[in-house]
Structure 1
């Protein structure tokens, strides 16, 4: 199925969203953000979808950034609206989604592309991928969450180095600093990402939702309280009863 700038493919309980603008190295424009939002929203409402994978079309780029031509003439009000709209439609939506989203970084992940990967819950990358936030070379800063999410993964020092220098880093370096979880040859990337998605899909959707919420709260003053309340709430739900029963009966659980 092709929905404008996004190609959607369903494989059992896994939904794959492929950003499909290869001639523009899958750069994000306003229409592409709308298409991603639509795909994510439909997956969120579909109980049969347990895990979402986001990747880019072709073998050159995951997403090479925002579409510069689209915002070249923007002034401050349009710039603010652009950032807010992107957060609402895609970046914050992904981070706070109740279902896990995995980025399969298959090439350049620059600017808004790296910010898209940062918003995902897990990041796998091809060995030849290059990652960076080059916005300062345009007289800008990352506006889709890069200044906020990157320090949480790699620390302020490395985040400042990456953002202020605008240099690209290799996939190997990204793994060493915790920016990506694993790296693979490009030919293996999607299969390895699907393997992880399949493992996750077997677990309790309700517990996964609460786990995502609690991890997202880990850098707030209410983090421990969020975890305690989420832990307690799960005791009242069928997935906990089924999971415990299956363990005691030495069988695989059948989660709702």
Structure 2
């Protein structure tokens, strides 16, 4: 399959998505369309159980394509529409039924940082630069950066990063809890691959999807409501072939062979 500004490769039940829009992989309308089409494809393929997304070359994603912003000057409605395009795609990623891991191999700025925040997990090069510099342009983040960052780290630290347009390294992002791991550049993709394959090859799809749904929906609920949601999904697992196989394998002291059913 071919997608605009997006390359796709599938190995060992993991999809590797690469944003390929030289020179800096900037996000524009065509790239958002290509990424959304790629999501359509991946959700329909039972072979794919986990996803790794990265950038071509030395950049992850250096931000949005600023050239497209000129058309919105003086038109608040047009500006809102530009923001909503990115928000829809990143919201879809956050609620995707298969885990998405960002492999941050280089500069991860503006819209690129917001894309990474929309992923379920993040691995970054130790020296990669991450940040939201929109205020330097007289703008604010438009692809949910103000919303997701403050849900991942303390509000006061999120506001500091937003209001100062400060860049941080992958190592600093790890310390803040923004990324799961910060590793040397050459280890970014191998670590992402290891994480993705540990999910795709060792876990069943029904329970993977159930965890993603319970966590994402539960965060918008009270603790009591979230617990009820978890109990509901826990019960549903008892009707899957994978749960029967997993429990049986445990009792028989062997590795489970899940069928994703």
Q: Structure 2 length normalisation: TM-score?
A: 0.93
Alpha-carbon displacement from aligned partner over 1:124-150 (angstroms, at most 9, x marks no partner): 001121100111111221111111111
The aligned counterpart of 2:3 is 3
Alpha-carbon spacing, 1:65–1:242, altered in 2? closer, same or farther (3 Å): same
The answer for the alignment partner of 1:73 in structure 2 is 71
Name structure 2 gaps, 5 residues minimum.
Answer: none
Deviation at 1:78, TM superposition (A): 1.2
Which secondary structure does the structure 1 equivalent of 2:71 belong to?
A: coil
Q: Any idea what the Cα deviations from partners look like across 1:131-173, whole Å, max 9, x if unmatched? A: 0011111122111111111111111011101111111011111
State yes or no: 1:82 paired with 2:82.
yes
Q: Which runs of 4+ in 1 moved over 3 A?
A: none
1:13 maps to which residue? 13
Distance apart, 1:216 and its partner CA: 1.0
Give, in angstroms, the shift of residue 87 of structure 1. 2.0
Shift of 1:223: 2.3
Which residue matches 2:22? Answer: 22
Measure how far apart 1:188 and its partner are: 1.4
Aligned residues: 253
Structure-1 separation of matches of 2:152 and 2:130:
14
Gaps of 5+ in 1: none
Q: Report the Cα distance in structure 1 between the residues aligned to 2:78 and 2:253, rounded to whole angstroms.
A: 58
Q: Which residue of 1 aligns with 2:246?
A: 243
Partner in structure 1 of residue 120 of structure 2: 121
1:163-197 CA-to-partner distances (Å, cap 9, x unmatched) read: 11111011111000000000111111111110111
RMSD of the alignment, in Å? 1.2
Matches of 1:83 and 1:30 in 2, distance apart? 11
Q: Tell me, in whole angstroms, the C-alpha distance in 2 between the residues paired with 1:131 and 1:224.
A: 35
1:62 maps onto 2:38 in alignment: no
Q: Does 1:97 align with 2:96?
A: yes
Matches of 1:128 and 1:212, distance apart in 2: 30
Q: Deviations over 1:26-63 (max 9, x none)?
A: 0100000011111111111100001011000002x111
How many angstroms apart in 2 are the aligned matches of 1:228 and 1:148?
28
Matched, 1:49 2:52: no
Measure the CA separation in 2 of the matches of 1:83 and 1:242.
Answer: 45
Q: Which residue matches 2:135?
A: 136
